[in-house]
Amino acid sequence: MTVSLSVLLERGDRVKDIKSYSLKELEEEFVTELNLPRFRAKQVYKWLTLGVESFEEMTDISKELRNNLSNTYYISVATIEKKLVSVYDKTVKYLFKLYDGEFIESVVMNYKHGYTICISTQVGCKMGCSFCATGKSGFSRNLTPSEMLSQIQSAQKDLEIRISNIVLMGMGEPLDNYANVIKFLRLVSSEDGLNIGMRHISLSTCGLVDKIYELEKENLQLTLSVSLHAPNNEIRSQTMPVNRRYPIEELLKACRHYADTTGRRISFEYAMISGVNDSDECARELGKRLKGMLCHVNLIPVNNVEGNSYKKSRIDRQKRFIEILSKYYITATVRRTLGSDINASCGQLRRKTISDDI
């Protein structure tokens, strides 16, 4: 598994993406390639973790070395292009601009137990789910580990807070950008870096089965969320094209294996769409499929997205779903909606910005 540590800047230089290095990798490179003492890497790494955006800001390093470093390396940043704050609950949504002019979104939510950030892992997404704004705008490219870190650092700096939880539920399919996402997870949870523990991280996937087996072997203590959204192949293939490649039986087999092997509870996401997947029969089918698995179901009233006619299920349907699932000993809760006035679910702001620009 390799992660590219260099990027091609707009001005045409190929420079190395310093924020995608681990401290150990940077130390090795400083010593063997740049002839620098090991402690210099530690010094630079500390600044990078603090979120500096240029080598100029590294004030305890000589000007000459700062110049040398800026010819070899590039510091990835996520620049705030737009910021929306919810008047209801102070949820903040960012549209960030990347070095090549691409846009991504992140959302910061303030819960009782601290700040949670929802970050993007790709610019766009290839998976094309019919209810999702990101899926509708197509795919541009994968994010680097440093670009995932930069979303957290920019938000922390702007809001003057420390983020304690991360969910990989923004734009993109994390397991479709596997190597970069795993590298990011290792960097962000490292004691040398932002030091956000794996137990405070959730990764959400639409269900790339082979990658779920790979992730299981990484032995990470994170929470795996699986976007299920349907109890059978017929409905799931209609809304989630990925189901045609990995049918629900294979997906749930992988989930059971993951839960059994890691001992960690899987979180199933289920966006309730009125008249599509919210009948009593759907709840019973779901209950039968999940029975006996170490899991929890998060019911999410579907967010309306421009260009489709999906409607949220009514509250009585949500309650009924929970009641039926409980008969199969499956716990389910309705996820609280935050930032409803700022379209906090990801993909919508980027889409709007792109279409405004055209």
Q: Provide, rounded to whole angstroms, the least separation between the CB of residue 251 and ligand SAH.
A: 12
N- to C-terminal Cα separation, the chain: 38
Specify the residue, 115 or 131, whose C-beta has the smaller distance to ligand SAH: 131
User: Both tokens of residue 61?
Assistant: 């390093």
Name which position in 204, 223, 239, 243 contacts ligand SAH (CB under 6 A): 204
Interacting residue ranges for ligand SF4, rule: CB under 6 A: 125, 127-129, 132, 134-135, 172-173, 206, 227
Contacts of 188 (CB under 8 A, 6+ apart): 148, 149, 152, 166, 194, 196, 201
Residues in contact with ligand SAH, shown as a per-residue x/- string from 286 to 325 under the rule CB under 6 A: --------------x-xx-x--------------------
Catalytic residue list? 105, 346
Using CA atoms, how far apart are residues 270 and 206, in angstroms rounded to an integer?
11
Strand-pair category, 14-17 with 6-8: antiparallel
Q: Provide, rounded to whole angstroms, the least separation between the CB of residue 174 and ligand SF4.
A: 9
Residues in contact with ligand SAH, shown as a per-residue x/- string from 129 to 148 under the rule CB under 6 A: --xx----------------
Q: Chain centroid to CA 30: how far?
A: 31
Q: Phi, psi at residue 247, to the nearest 5°? A: -60, 160
305 binds, among ligand SF4, ligand SAH, none (CB under 5 to 8 A by kind): ligand SAH
**Could you say whether residue 202 binds ligand SAH (CB under 6 A)?**
no
Helices 315-327 and 280-290, axial angle in degrees (round to 10)? 30
Name which position in 17, 173, 216, 285 contacts ligand SAH (CB under 6 A): 173
Using CA atoms, how far apart are residues 129 and 106, in angstroms rounded to an integer?
19
Strand partners, 82: 95
Give the residue at shortest CB distance from ligand SF4: 135
75 binds, among ligand SAH, ligand SF4, none (CB under 5 to 8 A by kind): none
User: Both tokens of residue 328?
Assistant: 């199969």
Binding site for ligand SAH (CB under 6 A): 131-132, 169, 173, 204-206, 227, 229, 269, 271, 300, 302-303, 305, 345
